[in-house]
Amino acid sequence: MAKPGNLTRSHHRLPKTSAPYNPKPNPPMTLRVVKRAVLCFAKTTSFPMASFVSSVTVTPRAKLRGVVFDMDGTLTVPVINFQAMYRAVLGDEEYVALRSTNPSGIDILHHIENWSPEKQQKAYQIIADFEKDGLDRLQIMPGAMELCGYLDANKIRRGLITRNVKDAVDLFHQRYEITFCPALSREFRPYKPDPAPLLHICSTWGVQPNEVIMIGDSLKDDVACGKRAGAFTILLDETGRYEKPEYAKVEHKPDFKVSSLKEVISLLESNFDLTP
């Protein structure tokens, strides 16, 4: 069992976070409580045992009605070299300074928002060039198609939120002939880690945020967006990079952590009731 505050590499539920409520009942405790209650009740009443037991044992699991994915690094194999992109936008000196004050990662879009229009335009062009280069080498993440097929078979909604541009989402949809709806790109403001895009998807679907799970490879964008909206979250950490101590004290921790999308189907089956 993981120590509180630490992230684990397993897909088992992580220590208590700000999740709406624990989706996984604790069987030993439930059994003990029921056993004690049944014994106590049997001594004092002659009511039908079955109805009493069922009223105690029903511990509903969390309903899952929709899954929202990040795109780059989650549905697609990471091909954008973000550190090189940040360095190109900021210059060496500012990059090093900003990196040291933001150990969990640089929010480049947010950072350039207050720049002069001229400087900002230049920065957007650099970012667009990196993203275009990434598009040319686009690959679907192993396990993504199987997971989407599983969600479709269970009639669970699929949405997408990315800080990339709409053209990239369109290309992804076309290339893999798979559509996420709604799919919100950088043109939707405010973008992640603001919870607005996720709340917008929930309201479009007509579901509550705590009936939705957000899956992404970024703690500062995807997990923060999901937790701030009140949704469940899965952090995809393929390389174990979030094992580093600097991530132990982040504000928003994921409910679950996986090292591959291939682990997600069994995670959903163990922890949620899939309800269209």
Peptide bond into 182 cis (omega under 30): yes
Catalytic residues: 70, 72
Min. distance of Cβ 238 from Mg ion in angstroms?
Answer: 11
Dihedral, 160, 154, 143, 258 alpha carbons, nearest 10: 80
Span interacting with Mg ion, options 122-130, 191-199, 212-220, 239-247, rule CB under 5 A: 212-220
Cα dihedral 55→59→61→63 (10° resolution): 40
The two tokens of residue 65 are: 């009605």
Interface with Mg ion, residue 217, by CB under 5 A:
yes
**Is 65 or 227 the residue whose CB approaches Mg ion more closely?**
227
State the nearest-atom distance from the C-beta of 216 to Mg ion, in Å. 6
**3-class DSSP state of 151:** helix
Number of residues that bind Mg ion (CB under 5 A): 5
Residue ranges in 45-64 that form contacts with Mg ion under rule CB under 5 A = none
Are the beta carbons of 228 and 193 closer than 8 angstroms?
Answer: yes
Encoded amino acid at 91, one letter: G
Residue 210, both tokens? 């705590």
Which residues 68-107 are close enough to bind Mg ion by CB under 5 A? 70, 72-73
Give me the amino acid identity at 269. Answer: E
Closest CB 112 distance from Mg ion, rounded Å: 19
- Decide whether 238 or 243 has the Cβ nearer to Mg ion: 238
Candidates 7-15, 21-29, 67-75, 109-117: pick the segment binding Mg ion (CB under 5 A).
Answer: 67-75
Binding site for Mg ion (CB under 5 A): 70, 72-73, 217-218
